[in-house]
Amino acid sequence: MKLTDIETFVVGNPPPHFGGRYFVFVKLTTDSGVSGIGEAYCVPFEPRLVAKMIEDVFARYVAGNDPHDIENMWRRVYSSGFTQHPDLTLMGVLSALEMACWDIIGKEANKPVYKLLGGQVHERLRAYTYIYPRPGDTKDVYHDPDLAAERSAEYLSQGFTALKFDPAGPYSAFDGRQLSLEALDLCERFAKSLREAVGMKADLLFGTHGQMTAAGAIRLAKRLEPYDPLWLEEPVPPDAPEEMAKVARATSIPVATGERLTTKYDFARLLRAGAAAILQMNLGRVGGILEAKKIAAMAEVDHVQIAPHLYCGPVVGAANIQIATCSPNFLILESIETWGGFHTEILKSPIRFEEGHVIPSTAPGLGVELNEDVARANPYTGNMLHLEMTQHPVQ
């Protein structure tokens, strides 16, 4: 079996854009006619250029090879152009290609990918969602703790037992910083209002995006501790695991991080520093499914759990489901609400969601199929990136 053909899709995610402005998908096909799909997460270049990058790497290192030879492909791409170093762009490209190869491998074996990576551990996967805005909101749910508390009741009625929120303010190219007293107060009021609203029915996941210095994060954590969040997410920028470890040692709140890290090498530094209790690798960036499995195994040694990150499309979501299902140290899965709207339309069959849990598919490969007609009918025509940071210092 040899890989022969590639097709990329740059798909605009219609309003309300939950999961990002667009998704970048890839389809690989073998000489026997078997196809697999993958997705790259948040590569920091114009998405049509990202598609060209994926096609270029395919032509150099993947075309003509057996999709089963994951390790061989991985090392050649990882070392491309005399790099051999964790790189967000190249690893996002590799993740999409590797994911598509696993989809093909599973289809050839007529097994879900999780059956080929140790087998099924979890029959249901506990899921959480961000607290999102609704059409007609007269206030901003990201900045109004009363509206967020009101919205939390809707999510509990859908079966969710964990909710994430991020009231700490914008994240900037100039972070980390000390949050203002106003921002600290708002964060504390959010935690208080939500805890009063959900009681013991749901965990609270406090999301940040590397806005703070270690000292600033410790100040915030002390305010949040009375409300017992399940985690404090990426409190400092991802480039200094030793600084994140200072936060982890200073608070009783578990630190979670990893969406901006890639490969086992980045995560090994995080684990050695004792910087996190929960790893949030994104399978569209980290280096693919097998790399995520290796990271999960490394974490298992230190009794560190995994909570695969998702703020992109449902193909990465399907890969997250595969790795969560076969990992003993799985904690919780990020969901875009209940996988409705465009996340359902872009797939031929939706991801199965029941009472706050994702039910792993028994279909072969990733368990999902891209609806190519929908993908082609929704091209991304903008020029912004998947996510954008504030480009000036936040006072």
- Any idea which residues carry the catalytic annotation? 209, 309
Q: Which residues contact 92 (CB under 8 A, 6 or more apart)?
A: 40, 41, 42, 43, 50, 262, 284, 285
The Cα 194–Cα 204 span in angstroms is 8
Cα 331–chain centre separation: 14
Enumerate helices (H) and strands (E) in the chain, giving the number of each: 12, 13
Structure tokens at 36: 């697999």
CA dihedral of residues 112, 118, 122, 125 (deg, nearest 10): -60
Q: What is the 3-state secondary structure (H, E, C) of 253-314?
A: CCEEECCCCCHHHHHHHHHHHCCCCEECCCCCCCCCHHHHHHHHHHHHHCCCEECCCCCCCH
The Cα 221–Cα 208 span in angstroms is 12
The Cα 57–Cα 242 span in angstroms is 34
- Asked if 107 and 364 touch (Cβ cutoff 8 Å), the reply is yes
CA dihedral of residues 139, 140, 144, 149 (deg, nearest 10): 90
Residue matched to tokens 């700490």: 168
The Cα 281–Cα 270 span in angstroms is 12
The Cα 224–Cα 212 span in angstroms is 15
Residue matched to tokens 């948040």: 42
The Cα 3–Cα 58 span in angstroms is 9
Residue matched to tokens 């280096």: 287
- Asked if 235 and 217 touch (Cβ cutoff 8 Å), the reply is yes
Q: Which residues contact 367 (CB under 8 A, 6 or more apart)?
A: 112, 113, 318, 321, 322, 360, 361
Closest CA to 218 of 257, 243, 247: 247
